[in-house]
């Protein structure tokens, strides 16, 4: 008998116009578990993550966080819920017009009356933990390389110690070594925070490092969900093809419908 899952996604559906993106996604994530979502481009991974944060409202279905329904909740309830979440976005989404320290401590400063100096100290502390020089806190996002931006995004997500972390392709576009470093940072920080993690990734090496469980999305549904150790012999042709990166098989690139 498992306890209440930290997150329960139950049969959520979402269509944009005629584009039927999610056709019933269900997924349970236990507390302190690290789950990776994989799937071909455009299959709706990012949309699923955005549904969790209430940035996109599913057409139907329910999402429970700590057993509490979050679809259609009041604004106040949503704001309370969001405090438990930290997220990195696929395209970084650092605030261009703010310096790194302001980016990293953005929510911290909204919530607590932190002095400028204290906030800068906090930011410097976090970015150095993530292997960046403390001097970057005075730079703007556009002045940093892609890998550095990913680290800053990570810093912003973990800055006020959320219980649930969502990472949308934290290592995409990075060389394998930097990608590996980011993975290790994720693993360290997640352990330190005792957080529950949901990560989207295309990078199988990275999935193997950070995931406890893996969910594969295909054609708007989850076609396989299991332990990362079982990923290589699922008996599901789509998963085999994806995991081994074969160009030919049941999966085709382009839009899934």
Binding site for Mg ion (CB under 5 A): 46, 90
**51, 58 Cβ separation under 8 angstroms:** yes
What is the distance between the alpha carbons of residues 117 and 208, in angstroms, rounded to a whole number?
40
Which of 46/197 has CB closer to ligand ATP?
46
Q: Least Å distance between CB 28 and Mg ion?
A: 22
Asked if 190 and 34 count as a contact pair (C-beta separation under 8 A), the reply is yes
**Is position 51 an interface residue for another protein (rule: CB under 8 A)?**
no
Residue 252 in the binding site for ligand ATP (CB under 6 A)? no
Instruction: State in angstroms the smallest separation of the CB of 102 from another protein.
Output: 10
- Considering only residues 70 through 99, tell me which ones interact with ligand ATP, judged by CB under 6 A: 90
Question: Footprint of another protein on residues 201-220 (CB under 8 A)?
Answer: none
Residues 52-81 that bind another protein (CB under 8 A): 53, 55, 79
**By C-beta, is 193 or 236 nearer to another protein?**
193
- Tell me the residue number closest to ligand ATP, measured at CB: 46
The CA-CA-CA angle for residues 91, 12, 78, to 5°, reads 65
Check binding of 199 to ligand ATP (CB under 6 A): no
d(CA 205, CA 196): 20
Q: Does 220 engage in binding with ligand ATP (CB under 6 A)?
A: no
Q: Does 51 bind ligand ATP (CB under 6 A)?
A: no
Query: Is there binding between residue 21 and ligand ATP (CB under 6 A)?
Result: yes
Which of the stretches 89-97, 125-133, 234-242, 244-252 binds another protein when contact is defined by CB under 8 A?
A: 89-97
Among residues 30, 42, 107, 204, which is the contact residue for ligand ATP, using CB under 6 A? Answer: 42
- The two tokens of residue 38 are 């994989």
Is residue 96 part of the contact set for another protein (CB under 8 A)?
Answer: yes
Give, to the nearest 10 degrees, the angle between helix 146-158 and helix 176-193.
Answer: 10
The answer for residues whose C-beta is within 8 angstroms of residue 94's C-beta and 6 or more apart is 100, 103, 141, 149, 152, 153, 156
Token pair of 55 as six digits: 């940035």
Interacting residues of 216 by C-beta distance below 8 A, sequence separation 6+: 37, 38, 39, 222, 223, 224, 225, 236, 238, 239, 242
Interface residues with ligand ATP (CB under 6 A)? 16, 19, 21, 39, 41-47, 90, 255
């Amino acid at each position: 008998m498992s306890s209440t899952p930290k997150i329960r996604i139950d049969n959520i559906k979402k269509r944009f116009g005629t584009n039927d993106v999610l056709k019933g996604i269900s997924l349970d994530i236990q507390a302190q578990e690290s789950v990776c979502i994989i799937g071909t481009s455009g299959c709706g991974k990012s949309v699923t993550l955005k549904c969790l944060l209430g940035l996109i409202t599913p057409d139907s279905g329910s999402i429970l966080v700590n057993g509490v329904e979050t679809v259609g909740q009041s604004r106040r309830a949503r704001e309370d819920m969001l405090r438990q979440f930290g997220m990195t976005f696929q395209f970084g989404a650092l605030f261009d017009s703010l310096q790194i320290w302001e980016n990293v401590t953005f929510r911290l400063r909204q919530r607590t009356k932190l002095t400028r100096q204290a906030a800068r100290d906090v930011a410097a502390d976090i970015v150095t933990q993530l292997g960046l020089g403390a001097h970057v806190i005075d730079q703007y996002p556009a002045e940093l390389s892609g890998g550095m931006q990913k680290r800053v995004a990570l810093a912003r997500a973990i800055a006020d110690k959320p219980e649930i972390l969502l990472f949308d392709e934290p290592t995409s576009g990075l060389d394998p070594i930097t990608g590996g470093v980011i993975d290790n940072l994720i693993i360290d920080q997640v352990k330190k925070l005792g957080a529950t993690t949901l990560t989207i990734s295309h990078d199988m090496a990275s999935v193997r490092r950070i995931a406890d469980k893996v969910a594969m999305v295909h054609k708007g549904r989850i076609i396989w969900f299991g332990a990362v150790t079982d990923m290589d012999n699922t008996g599901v042709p789509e998963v085999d093809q994806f995991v081994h990166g074969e160009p030919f098989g049941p999966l085709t690139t382009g839009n899934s419908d």
